[in-house]
Amino acid sequence: MRVILTGWRPKPRPLSVRSFLPVAALACLATAAWAQGLPAEAPKLLPPEQAFRFSARALDPSTLEARFDIADGYYLYRDKMRFTTEPVAAGAAELPPGRRKHDDFFGDVDTYRGTLVVRVPLASPAPGQTLTVHADSQGCADAGVCYPPNPQQLRLAVPTSAGKPGPYVEAARKGWFK
């Protein structure tokens, strides 16, 4: 036996604030729980050439001085620093001691903050020559973001004799805006 009802509809109930209250409370709780897992604002990171500004100068025909101006909130790894020069080869860089830090990825490492000055001896004197200085470094932001290895280079003139050091020359900036 089949029963067919025609024209029957459920009686509409008037909407009240009480009927929306549980739904609204659940939506607020879900939004608050979701927001707990998100940072308040994504960190604004500097390009590596600004976070780790590289410059150098010739102290005399046999010695260069490399310098990194490291922005606040950033640091460089000591063991990721390499210096080479052309056409005259560079000797072993004289890196100052760093500050010990435990890194989740690299373990216990030495790092640099602020201004880092490194002496780079040349394998042989290069009076009056123009050298290309290559500096490879890697660093991170305190915000928890690490940069890939960052090669930078510059060209500088070596003085013809010992005496007054040359001026600092900054590495060329990469990117669209200089």
Q: What pLDDT is attached to residue 177?
A: 43
For 45-100, how does the pLDDT look when each residue is reduced to its tens digit (9 = 90+)? Answer: 999 999 999 999 999 999 999 999 999 999 999 999 999 999 999 999 999 999 99
> Which residue in this structure is represented by tokens 């101006």?
69
Cα–Cα distances in angstroms (integers) from residue 13 to residues 5, 9, 16, 19, in the given order: 21, 12, 9, 11
Residue spans per domain, the chain: 48-168
> Which residue in this structure is represented by tokens 């960190």?
43
Q: What pLDDT is attached to residue 106?
A: 81
Is the whole model's pTM more than 0.75, yes or no? no
Q: What is the CATH number of domain 48-168?
A: 2.60.40.1250
Query: Residue 127 pLDDT more than 80?
Result: yes
Q: What does DSSP assign to residue 88?
A: S
| Higher local confidence (pLDDT), 119 or 172 | 119
| Higher local confidence (pLDDT), 88 or 37 | 88
Cα–Cα distances in angstroms (integers) from residue 169 to residues 44, 83, 105, 127, in the given order: 28, 15, 34, 17
Please say whether the beta carbons of 158 and 129 come within 8 A: yes
Query: Residue 163 pLDDT more than 80?
Result: no
